[in-house]
C-alpha cells in the first residue's frame, strides 16, 4: 500500500489558492446541479397536476446537458484535489482536510472555504466538531529529509 501523503502547515498553506479555486468551482457546479434538479422536479409536478403540458424540449435538454456537464466538472475537480493528497470532507461548506504527521501520529489540518488560512486541526476519528486551534506541535512540524 502506498504511503499516505502528508503536509506541513506551510505546505498546506501554499496549496490554498489552487484548492480554493477548485473548491469554489465545485461548489458552484453543485449549486447549478441543485438548481436544474429543482427546475426538472417543478416541471414534472406541473405536468402531473395539469395532466400534460407543452414542454420546450430543447430548453429542457439544454438544462439537462448543463447539469451533466456540472456533474463531470465536480468529478474532475474532486479527483484533482484527491490526487494532490487532500481530502474533501464536505462540498456544501467547502471543507478540506490535509493529513499531517505530528510526532508519531497522523492528524488532519482542517480548512473551510472562506477562511484566510488553516487555523485548526483534529484527529483522524474526530471530524469537524473536534477542531482545535493549531498548536506548537503542529507549528514545529517539518518534513523529514530523506537520507
Domain ranges (residues) in the chain? 16-86
- pLDDT tens across 96-131, in order? 999 999 888 899 999 999 999 999 999 988 878 889
Residues with Cβ within 8 Å of 111's Cβ and at least 6 positions away in sequence, in order, are 12, 16, 95, 96, 97, 98, 117, 118, 120
Q: What is the pLDDT of residue 122?
A: 93
Q: pTM for this one? A: 0.83
Task: Taking each helix axis as running N to C, give the angle between helix 9-50 and helix 57-84, from 0 to 180 degrees, rounded to the nearest 10.
Answer: 160
**Residue-level pLDDT, tens digit, the chain, 147 residues:** 457 899 999 999 999 999 999 999 999 999 999 999 999 999 888 887 777 777 788 999 999 999 999 999 999 999 999 999 999 999 999 999 999 998 888 999 999 999 999 999 999 888 788 899 998 888 876 654 443
Structure-block grid coordinates of residue 3: 504511503
3-state DSSP call for residue 114?
coil
Q: What is the pLDDT of residue 21?
A: 96
To the nearest 10°, report the CA torsion of 9, 93, 115, 141. -10
Amino acid at each position: 500500500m502506498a504511503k499516505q501523503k502528508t503536509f506541513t502547515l506551510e505546505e498546506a498553506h501554499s496549496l490554498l489558492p489552487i484548492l480554493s479555486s477548485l473548491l469554489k468551482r465545485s461548489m458552484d457546479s453543485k449549486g447549478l446541479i441543485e438548481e436544474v434538479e429543482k427546475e426538472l422536479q417543478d416541471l414534472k409536478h406541473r405536468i402531473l397536476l395539469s395532466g400534460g403540458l407543452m414542454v420546450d424540449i430543447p430548453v429542457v435538454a439544454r438544462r439537462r446537458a448543463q447539469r451533466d456537464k456540472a456533474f463531470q466538472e465536480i468529478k474532475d475537480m474532486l479527483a484533482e484535489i484527491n490526487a494532490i493528497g487532500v481530502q474533501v470532507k464536505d462540498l456544501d461548506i467547502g471543507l478540506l482536510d490535509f493529513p499531517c504527521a505530528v510526532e508519531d501520529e497522523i492528524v488532519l489540518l482542517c480548512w473551510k472555504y472562506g477562511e484566510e488560512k488553516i487555523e485548526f486541526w483534529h484527529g483522524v476519528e474526530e471530524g469537524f466538531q473536534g477542531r482545535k486551534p493549531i498548536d506548537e506541535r503542529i507549528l514545529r512540524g517539518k518534513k523529514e529529509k530523506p537520507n
